[in-house]
A and B are shown apart, each in its own frame.
Chain A
Amino acid sequence: MTSDQIRQVILDILGRIAPDEDLTDLDDARPFREQMELDSMDFLDIVMELRKMYRIQIPEEDYPNLNTMGGTVEYLLPRLKDVPVGA
Chain B
Amino acid sequence: MAVRYDTVIIGAGMSGLSAGVRLAYYEKNVCILERHTTIGGLNSFYRLRKRNYDVGLHAVTNYAEPGTKQGPLSKLLRQLRMKWEDFDLRPQLQSSIVFPGATLHFTNQFNYFVEQIASAFPQQIDGFRRLVTRIAEHDALDLERQSVSARQVVSEYIRDPLLVDMLFCPLMFYGSATPRDMDFSQFVIMFKSIFHEGFGRPFDGIRLILKRLVKHFKSLGGHLKLRAGVQEIRQSNGRATSVLLDDGTEIEADNILSSAGAAETMRMIDPNGPPVKAEPGDISFVESISVLDCEPAQLGHRDTIVFYSDSKDFHYERPDVPVDLRSGIICSPNNFDYSQPLEDGRIRITALADPHYWMNLPEDQYVAAKQHWNDEIIKCATQHIPDFRSHVIDTDVFTPRTIRRFTGHLNGCVYGAPEKFVNGQTPLDNLFLCGTDQGFLGIVGAMLSGITIANRYLLK
- Complex CA distance for A50 and B177, rounded to whole angstroms: 40
A81 an interface residue at 8 Å Cβ cutoff? no
Contacts of A25 in B (CB 8 A): none
Q: Which of B27, B68, B78, B459 contacts A42 (CB 8 A)?
A: B78
Interface residues on A, range: 10 to 19
- Complex CA distance for A45 and B74, rounded to whole angstroms: 15
- Complex CA distance for A44 and B452, rounded to whole angstroms: 12
Chain B interface residues (CB < 8 Å from chain A): 26-27, 67-70, 74-75, 78-79, 81, 83, 451-452, 455, 459
Mind listing 7 A-B residue pairs with CB under 8 Å? A19-B78, A19-B83, A20-B68, A20-B74, A39-B75, A41-B452, A44-B455
Q: How near does chain A come to B319, taking the closest CB pair, in angstroms?
A: 40
Contacts of A37 in B (CB 8 A): 69-70, 74
Contacts of A52 in B (CB 8 A): 26-27
- Complex CA distance for A37 and B27, rounded to whole angstroms: 26
Pairs A-B, 3 closest by C-beta atoms: A37-B69, A20-B67, A20-B69
A85 an interface residue at 8 Å Cβ cutoff? no
Contact check, B459 vs A48: say whether CB atoms are below 8 A apart. Answer: yes
Q: Which of B26, B69, B79 contacts A41 (CB 8 A)?
A: B79
- Complex CA distance for A52 and B22, rounded to whole angstroms: 12
With contact pairs A17-B78, A19-B83, A48-B26 given, residues A41 and B70 touching in the complex (Cβ less than 8 Å): no
Q: How near does chain B come to A1, taking the closest CB pair, in angstroms?
A: 21
With contact pairs A18-B69, A19-B83, A20-B69 given, residues A41 and B75 touching in the complex (Cβ less than 8 Å): yes
Q: How near does chain B come to A20, taking the closest CB pair, in angstroms?
A: 5
Contacts of A20 in B (CB 8 A): 67-69, 74
Contacts of B451 in A (CB 8 A): 41
Contacts of B459 in A (CB 8 A): 44, 48
- Complex CA distance for A80 and B83, rounded to whole angstroms: 31
A16 an interface residue at 8 Å Cβ cutoff? yes
Contact check, A41 vs B81: say whether CB atoms are below 8 A apart. Answer: no
Contacts of A16 in B (CB 8 A): 81
